[in-house]
Amino acid sequence: MPDWLSEFLGFAKTFNLGSAIWDFFMSLVLTLMGLSPEDYSPGAWTYVTGTLYPWFLSIGVVMLNMFCLIGFIRQAANLRENVTIEMWIELFIKTIIANVLMANGISLMQDFFNAAGLLSTDIMITETPHIYSNEVDAGAVMAYIIFGLIYLIASMVCGIIIALEVLARFLNLYMLAAVAPVMLSTWAGGRGLENTAYAWIKSFLTTVFQIVVIAIVLQIGSRMIQATALTNAGTTVGNWFDGFGAVLISFVTMIFMTTAVKGADNFLKRAADLR
């Protein structure tokens, strides 16, 4: 059936509207991918670096000295283990590392932001993934009738979820950057107390490189939509309805992509043991 005829009959209107909504959100996501927190909202980043970070840094410096003293007392009062020079050296090294990270925290975090942005930009797709059919045949028209309204709702929900996931990442990065000095100061406390610093580092790395996983998901998903293994019926009657399979694969892949984007941080935590 020609495209103009399906448009005239109204079969593809809901699909076209759903595709327009999906393309809008995907264009928004692709625009946000290569941005660092500083580029996304200079005002928010200035507030974090100029107001919140110095305030938490002053608290972190006090807590750094306190945790260093606590670590020293814990080592000296530990009667179950022999007090060795290696223990003191380890404690002092951790204190120095925490001090360096706190003093240079903003510049170090910006380096990670830029690295994640460059990686996601290199991976980023140039064409938004959308439901398609190589030809509008009887199967495609049948898919338009059956899934048209469902796809319209699903494309709106999935697009909003993916966009919110990307936007929430920026908010999490602002919050992580602000409280960094306090969390890193626990490194001077030695074993046990330093777990807070390790937890912050894992959370920071997960949130920073989450955008890279999202870019990979969209890149792979855009190619999965073009899969033909399930649409090659091999028969004349099957070829009349191969458009139905193409549209169905695209529709299901869109949902899978949204689920994968939503779980991008969990994927990083499991794959890189950042839990």
What DSSP letter does each residue of 232-260 carry, written as one string? ---SHHHHHTHHHHHHHHHHHHHHHHHHH
The stretch 177-206 carries a mean pLDDT of 86
Mean pLDDT of the chain: 78
SS3 content of the chain, % helix, strand, coil (to 5): 80, 0, 20
| pLDDT: which is higher, 208 or 92 | 208
Residue 229 has pLDDT above 60, yes or no: no
| pLDDT: which is higher, 167 or 97 | 167
For CA atoms 144, 16, 30, 37, give the dihedral sign: negative
Structure tokens at 96: 């120095």
Residue 131 has pLDDT above 90, yes or no: no
Which one-letter DSSP state was computed for residue 186? G
Residue 241 has pLDDT above 70, yes or no: no
The stretch 222-238 carries a mean pLDDT of 56
pLDDT given for residue 135 in this prediction: 54
What Å distances lie between residue 165 and 41, 196, 211, CA to CA? Answer: 17, 25, 9
| pLDDT: which is higher, 65 or 13 | 65
pLDDT given for residue 226 in this prediction: 65
| Residues 6 or more apart whose Cβ sits within 8 Å of residue 36 | 110, 113, 114, 117
| Residues 6 or more apart whose Cβ sits within 8 Å of residue 244 | 138, 139, 140, 142, 143
Residue 167 has pLDDT above 80, yes or no: yes
Read out DSSP for 38-90?
A: HHH-HHHHHHIIIIIHHHHHHHHHHHHHHHHHHHHHHHHH-SSS---HHHHHH
| pLDDT: which is higher, 179 or 99 | 179
The stretch 42-68 carries a mean pLDDT of 89
> Which of 53-57, 65-69, 82-86, 116-120 is least confident?
82-86
Q: Indicate the pLDDT class of residue 8, thresholds 50, 70 and 90.
A: very low
From the number of C-beta atoms within 10 Å of its C-beta (0-12, 13-18, 19+), residue 35 rates as: middle
Residue 75 has pLDDT above 60, yes or no: yes
Q: 190, 91 in Cβ contact below 8 A?
A: yes
Q: 69, 193 in Cβ contact below 8 A?
A: no
Structure tokens at 146: 């059956």
Does the pTM surpass 0.85? The reply is no
> Which of 13-27, 163-177, 206-220, 223-237 is least confident?
223-237
Residue 44 has pLDDT above 80, yes or no: yes
Q: Which of the given ranges, 59-63, 90-94, 223-227, 252-256, has the highest pLDDT on average?
A: 59-63
pLDDT given for residue 55 in this prediction: 92
Q: How far apart are CA 173 and CA 45, in angstroms?
A: 10
Residue 235 has pLDDT above 50, yes or no: no
Residue 163 has pLDDT above 70, yes or no: yes
